[in-house]
Amino acid sequence: MARRSGFGAFIKAAARAAAASERERQRAARTQLAYARQSERDRRRRATQRARENREAEKALKAQYLLDRQTEVDDLNAELNEKIEELQDILAHTLRHDDAIDFDSLRHFEAFEPFEIAPELRPSDPPALIQVPKPSGMRRLIPGAGKRHQAALEKAKIQNQQSLEVFRLHEEEKQAQIALFQDQYQQRKAQYDAEVARRNAEVDEFQATYLANEADAVVAYNEMVLIRSEYPEEGFSQKFRIAYNEVAKELVVEYELPQVCVIPTDLEYRYVKTRDQIDAKARKPVDIKRLYQDIVAAISLRTLHELFEADQADALALVTFNGIVDTTDPSSGREIRVPVVSVRAEKSEFQALRLDRVDKIACLRNLGAQVSNRPDELQAIKPIVEFNMVDKRFIEQGNLLNELESRPNLLDLTPGDFEVLVSNLFSSMGLDTKLTRASRDGGVDAIAFDTRPILGGKVVIQAKRYRDTVGVSAVRDLYGTMMNEGASKGILVCTSGYGVDAYKFSQDKPIELIDGGGLLYLLREHAGVEAKIMT
């Protein structure tokens, strides 16, 4: 019985062990399975995270790209707006500056650089001399110590003398080099001082002749005023010609205006995301026309303002501005010069204007200007004064010695000859001219007819063979004759020039004043007559 009981216990223990082992195996299997599932979940979570991060990175890159494209558009629009603001600021810009030329700014006051000795040529400290101390203590008692000391002294003396001699020679060499460099410096300084003195003397002479209202100096001074004027860089050539009429104290400027292409044809830019493209919105033609008219008017008023403001010598009573566009005729390919604005202004009247408040076009028209209605289409106007008709240089160029005998002096002509000359001139210009009786001052009166339809009509021509300036009374007389004759235009021709009041009176009337220079020009261009006017 006991044996059976022990056997049963063994079986039970084995069964429990087997059960425990199975449970452990199953537990390990479950743990491994759980670990595998957890690993898979971790893998999936990491993959999901990476995908999310990739999507966010891609989204961020896309957002940055869109931001960069929009920034590009903003920069383009900013540049466009800056250019338009610069064009609209042409007149206002000059009102913020004093245009008068400071003559001291033309002079040179900077002294020549002082003479400096190079560091290697500066005096050196003398060399340290060899010192031989006397023997002391027990050394004095050594046999021969005194002789050895004396020998050492002699040797040190020789070495010291040699060192001092080398030092002296080296210092003398440096002094010689310094003297050479000083001589060269004095030569350069003398040349510099002479150049400065020459330049400052030229400035002094220029200032004196300008203040004396000498024509060449007045022209040079005003050229300097316009050259120094700051305009936008692109499209503004700032090319011009200047002539000065001393009699009338009138400056005539022929100024090359920018072409309409200086105005950007794009109004604004925008980014189209769906096409990933930057599109430009075109500026309306009517806006381009308006802005170009504003630019033409701004340059005209600005030039008048700069010249009058800079007039320190009070040399300008009148300024005439002719604005021209230098371009190519698309129909012929030839270069053409188209006048699009012409204005003559009297100094005191112009300086009374408040240019910071005016409407530019209205201001020009109030000054009696001829302004093209379509300068953008090169619609020409007739200048108030042709540049070559008042250019004093044109008259001077004709006064060459080898031509004096062959060119008639208009002041030497008889009244009858002068009458025929003027009559023939206007006949050659296309007018049907009828002479009338000569006036008491030796000039002629003529009635002419412009036979063109619509634009034509009756023209009163009056000539003054004067040596002195023609005053306003002659212009008033011509205007009265026009009224009496029912003429549509009056032309006054003289061999001298006109005063300020004469120009001012004729400003808003159908009267054309032709001075001596203009008469010579018309005779050459239309009658083929090379003449001169010599008092």
> How far apart are the C-alpha atoms of 383 and 342, rounded to whole Å?
5
| Overall average pLDDT of the 81-90 stretch | 94
Phi, psi (deg, nearest 5) at residue 336:
-135, 155
Residue 81 and residue 109 in one domain = no
The answer to the question of residue 449 being in a domain is: yes
Which helix (H) or strand (E) segment holds residue 128: the answer is none
What's the pLDDT score for residue 391?
42
Residue 181: predicted pLDDT: 92
Q: Are residues 366 and 491 in the same domain?
A: no
Average pLDDT over residues 508-530: 84
Indicate whether 263 and 173 sit together in one domain: no
pLDDT tops 70 at residue 115: yes
The last residue of one of the domains, among 385, 419, 436, is: 385
Tell me how many domains the chain contains: 4
The model carries a pTM of 0.66
Among 36-40, 118-122, 394-398, 521-525, the range scoring the smallest mean pLDDT is 394-398
* Residue 512 dihedral angles phi and psi, to the nearest 5°: -115, 130
Q: How confident is the model at residue 451 (pLDDT cuts 50, 70, 90)?
A: low
Query: Domain for residue 424, yes or no?
Result: yes
Paired residues of 282 in beta bridges = 266
- Do 109 and 57 fall into the same domain? no
- 222 shares its domain with 184: no
pLDDT for residue 363 is more than 90: yes
Q: Is 519 found in the same domain as 486?
A: yes
- Position 144 scores a pLDDT of 75
pLDDT of residue 79: 92
Q: Is residue 471 part of a domain?
A: yes
Q: E strand or H helix at 246, and its extent?
A: none
Residue 163 sits in the same domain as residue 281: no
3-class SS of residue 237:
coil
Lowest mean pLDDT among 171-180, 190-199, 326-335, 371-380: 326-335
Residue 425's domain is classified under what CATH number? 3.40.1350.10
pLDDT confidence tier of residue 280, bands split at 50, 70 and 90: very high
Residue 481: CA atoms inside 13 Å, Cβ hemisphere, count? Answer: 21
Specify if 6 maps to a domain. Answer: no
Task: Note whether 163 and 187 are same-domain residues.
Answer: yes
Q: Which pLDDT tens digit goes with each residue over 246-272?
A: 888 999 999 999 999 999 999 999 999
Is residue 98 assigned to a domain?
no
The verdict on residue 200 lying in a domain is: yes
The last residue of a domain, from among 385, 416, 431: 385
21 and 77 inside one domain: yes
Question: Is residue 190 a part of any domain in this protein?
Answer: yes
Average confidence (pLDDT) over 3-17? 64
* 257 to 221, 335, 389: CA distances (angstroms): 21, 15, 21
Task: Give how far Cα 337 sits from Cα of 224, 355, 522, Å.
Answer: 24, 29, 19
Q: Which amino acid is at 190?
A: A
The pLDDT of residue 60 is 84
- Boundaries of domain holding 265: 214-385
Q: In this structure, are 257 and 378 located in the same domain? A: yes
The SS3 call for residue 272 is strand
User: Does the residue 257 lie in any domain?
Assistant: yes
Largest CA distance in the chain: 181
Higher-confidence residue: 396 or 383? Answer: 383
- Clarify whether residues 168 and 295 are in a common domain: no
More confident residue, 469 or 435: 469
* Cα–Cα distance, 282 to 516 (Å, whole number): 51
Give the C-alpha separation, 210 to 314, whole Å. Answer: 10
121-147 per-position pLDDT tens digit: 888 889 888 888 887 777 766 777 778
Q: Provide the pLDDT confidence category of residue 102 given band limits of 50, 70 and 90.
A: very high
What pLDDT digit, counting tens, does each position of 284-337 carry?
A: 999 999 999 999 999 999 999 999 999 999 999 999 999 999 888 777 778 888
Same-domain status, 436 and 483: yes
